[in-house]
Amino acid sequence: MTESTSALEASFLQQAVELHQQGRLQPAQALYRQVLDLNPRQFDALHLLGVIARQQGDAAQAIALISQAIAIDGQQAKAHANLGAALLDAGRADEALASHDRAIALLPDYAMAWSNRGNALRRLGRLDDALRSYQRAIEIQPNYAEAHCNRAIVLQDQARYLEALGAAEDALNIKDRYADAWFARGNALHCLRLLPDAVESFDRAIHLRPQWAEAYSAQGSSLFKLGEFEAALDSYDYALKLKPDHALAHYHRGNALRSLGRNAEAIAAYRAALAHGDNPETIAFALASLGVGATPAVLPAEYVRSLFDQYANHFDEHLLQVLDYQTPAFLDGMLRRVAPAADLDTVDIGCGTGLCAPYLKAYSRRLDGVDLSQQMLDKAAARGGYDELACADLLGYLDAHTDRWDLAVAADVFVYIGDLQPVFERVRRALKPGGRFCFSVEAGDGADFTLRPTNRYAHTLGYIERLANETGFELLAAEPLAARQENGATIAGHAVVLRNTT
C-alpha cells in the first residue's frame, strides 16, 4: 500500500467514525466500504460495518462482518462483545455467552461485556447468574444505567418486584430519559398493585418512545386492573394500531370488551388473538366463557400458573379482605364435625400460599402441599407448616403416589378444573383405604360443569354425587358454602367430604 493510499484510508476511516458517532449510519457505511476497497483486511472498517448492520437490524450480516474482523485480530475485546450482542439478536444465546466470556478474558473490567453477558444468561434461563453478571458490571461502572435496568428486568422475572422497582429507579436516577427503565418500573409497580403509579410510569415510557406498542399494552393492563375499562381499551387500540399482529394486545382487548359487556366484539378480539398466534387453549376457554364452542375440561395449566405467579404477592390480602374468603376455616370445621381424626398423613392439593396449613397441621403428623405456581409455593414455605412442597401438575403429582395419604384437601381448586373425573380417580388411588377427600366447588346449575364469564368453573351437586359413586367414594357430607364475595354479591358453593371405599 502506498503512502498516499494509506493516508486516504486513514482519512476515510476517521470521517466514517465521526459520522457513525453522529448517528448518520448510511454515509458512515459508505465510507467504511471505501476503506475496505482500499484495504479489504482493515479491522476497524469490518468491525464497525458489522456494528452498523446490527443497528439496522441485520444480525446475520453483523455476525459475518464482525467475525471477519476477529479473524484478522482476535485480541480486541470490543469486537467479541459486539459479536456476542449480534449472536444474541440471532437467538444464539450459547454462542453469545461464549463471545462475552472471550471479551472479559481479554479485558476483565469491561462493564459492557459483563452486562451483555447477563443478557445472554437471562435468555438461557440462568437468572441468578445473570444477576451476578449485571452486578459485576455495576461494580466496575456504578453509573451504568443499562446494567441497572437489565437487573430490574431479571428481578421482575424472578417475581422480586420490590427489588425490581429499586433497580429500575437506580437506572432512572442515572438517566431520567430512559424509556426501558420507565417500562421496567411500570411492570414492577403493576405487580406491586401500585396501579396509578404504574400507569404514569408507562406513560413516561411512551412519551420517550411513542411507537412502543408493548408499553401501550402494558399500560392497558394496569388501567384494566383499576377498572378503567374504556381507558384500557384505548391503550390496547393504540398498541394494535402500532403493531396489528400483537396477539397479547388482541387478547387483553377482548378482556376489556367483555368487561364492558360488548361480548360480540370480545369474541372477535379473541379470534384475532388466535389468528396472530396466541395460545389456542387460552383462547378456547375465553370463548367458552362467552358461550362459544365446547367447554374445555380444564383451564390451561400455563394460564393458571401465570395467573397465580402474578397473584402471589397480594393473594392473601385480596382473598381475605376483598373477597371475604372463608373456605379453609369452613372446611376445617366440617372435617372436625363429619370426620374427626388425628395423626393423619395429609395432602393440600393446590395449596397456594398455604392458607389451609394452620388448620390442617392441627391433626396431621405429615402435611404435603402441591401447586402449579412456584411463586405461591414460596409464600407457603415462608408461612410454614408443610413437610414437603412440590411445584407440579396435579394429575402427574397424584399419579406418582398410591395409598399415600389419609386426607386430601382441595380448597377453591376445582374452580379451575371442569371435568373432575380424572382428579377423583387419582385422589382415590392416592388415598389409603378409608381415607377422606374434602373440597369445595362453586355451585352450578344445569350442565354438570359450566365455565363462567369469570373464567371459573361451577359444578352441580348432582354431578359431584354421581362422580363420587362412579370413582369409589362414599359421600359423607355436602353443605352449602358462601364461597366468596364478588362485586358485592355472595357466590354460592358446596363443601364436600368423601370417603375412599376401597
d(CA 392, CA 282): 20
Distances (CA, A) of 376 to 369, 389, 407: 11, 11, 22
> pLDDT class for 182, splitting at 50, 70, 90?
very high
CA 228, distance to chain mean position in Å, is 23
Confidence at 173, pLDDT banded by 50, 70, 90: very high
Q: Which three cell numbers stand for residue 386?
A: 408443610
Antiparallel, parallel or unpaired: β 489-500 and 431-443: antiparallel
In angstroms, rounded to a whole number, what is the distance separating the alpha carbons of residues 150 and 116? 9
306-500 and 3-217 share a CATH fold? no
Q: Is 155 a residue whose pLDDT tops 50?
A: yes
Sign of CA dihedral 236, 241, 244, 246: negative
Is the torsion defined by CA of 65, 129, 163, 391 positive or negative? positive
- Interval 323-327 mean pLDDT: 67
- Helix/strand/coil (H, E, C) string of 260-283? CCCHHHHHHHHHHHHHCCCCHHHH
The pLDDT value given to residue 98: 97
Domain ranges of the chain: 3-217, 218-278, 306-500
DSSP 435: E
- pLDDT tens figures, 256-269: 999 999 999 999 99
pLDDT at 291 over 70: yes
Residue type, position 284, single letter:
A
Contact 164, 187 (CB under 8 A): yes
Q: Which is nearest to 436 in space by CA: 326, 337, 330, 346?
A: 346
Distances from the Cα of 24 to the Cα of 31, 79, 263, angstroms? 11, 21, 50
Give per-residue burial for 112-122: e unless 16+ CB within 10 Å, then b: bbbbbbbbbbb
> What does the mean pLDDT of the chain come to?
91
Question: For residue 437, what pLDDT band results from cuts at 50, 70 and 90?
Answer: very high
Phi first, then psi, for residue 28 (nearest 5°) are -65, -45
Superfamily designation of domain 306-500 = Vaccinia Virus protein VP39 (3.40.50.150)
Which pLDDT does position 319 carry in this prediction? 46
Q: Reply yes or no on whether the pLDDT at 316 is more than 50.
A: no
* Rounded Cα distance, 347 and 360, in Å: 9
% of residues, the chain, pLDDT over 70: 93
Please state the three-class secondary structure of 361-412 as a single string. Answer: HHHEEEEEEEECCHHHHHHHHHHCCCCEEEECCHHHHHHCCCCCEEEEEECC
What integer pLDDT is reported at residue 241 of this predicted model? 97
Q: Which CATH number is associated with domain 218-278?
A: 1.25.40.10
Task: Give the closest residue to 471 by CA, choosing from 407, 427, 439.
Answer: 427
| CA pair distance 312, 314, nearest whole angstrom | 6
| Residue 122 CA: distances (Å) to CA of 96, 132, 160, 382 | 12, 11, 15, 26
Whether 482 and 493 have beta carbons less than 8 Å apart is answered as yes
2 or 79: whose pLDDT is higher?
A: 79
25 — phi, psi (to 5°)? Answer: -70, -40
Of 282, 325, 327, 326, nearest to 305 (Cα)? Answer: 282
Q: Report the SS3 class of residue 214.
A: helix
Closest C-alpha among 486, 488, 494 to residue 444 = 494
- pLDDT tens digits along 23-59: 899 999 899 899 898 899 999 999 999 999 999 999 9
User: Quick one: cell of 259?
Assistant: 368487561
The continuous run of DSSP H or E covering 432 comes out as strand 431-443
Separation CA 363–CA 344 (nearest Å): 6
- How is domain 3-217 classified at the CATH fold level? 1.25.40
Judged against a pLDDT cut of 70, whether residue 159 lies above it is answered with: yes
Number of neighbours of residue 204 by Cβ within 10 angstroms: 20
Q: Report whether 261 contacts 230 (CB < 8 A).
A: no
**Residues 56, 116: Cα–Cα separation, whole Å:** 19
Nearest to 414 by CA among 340, 467, 337, 360: 467
Bridge-partner residues for 369, per DSSP?
A: 348, 389
Of 105-114, 175-184, 343-352, 484-493, least confident by mean pLDDT is 484-493
Looking at residue 8, what is its pLDDT?
A: 84
Residue 377, CB-side half-sphere exposure with 13 Å CA sphere: 17
pLDDT band at 407 (very low <50, low <70, confident <90, very high): very high
- Supply the DSSP symbol for 339: S
What is the Cα–Cα distance from 78 to 337, expressed in whole angstroms?
72
3-state secondary structure 461-491: HHHHHHHHHHCCEEEEEEEEEEEEEECCEEE
Q: Point out the least confidently predicted range of 25-39, 124-138, 155-169, 399-413.
A: 25-39
Asked if pLDDT for residue 320 goes beyond 60, the answer is no
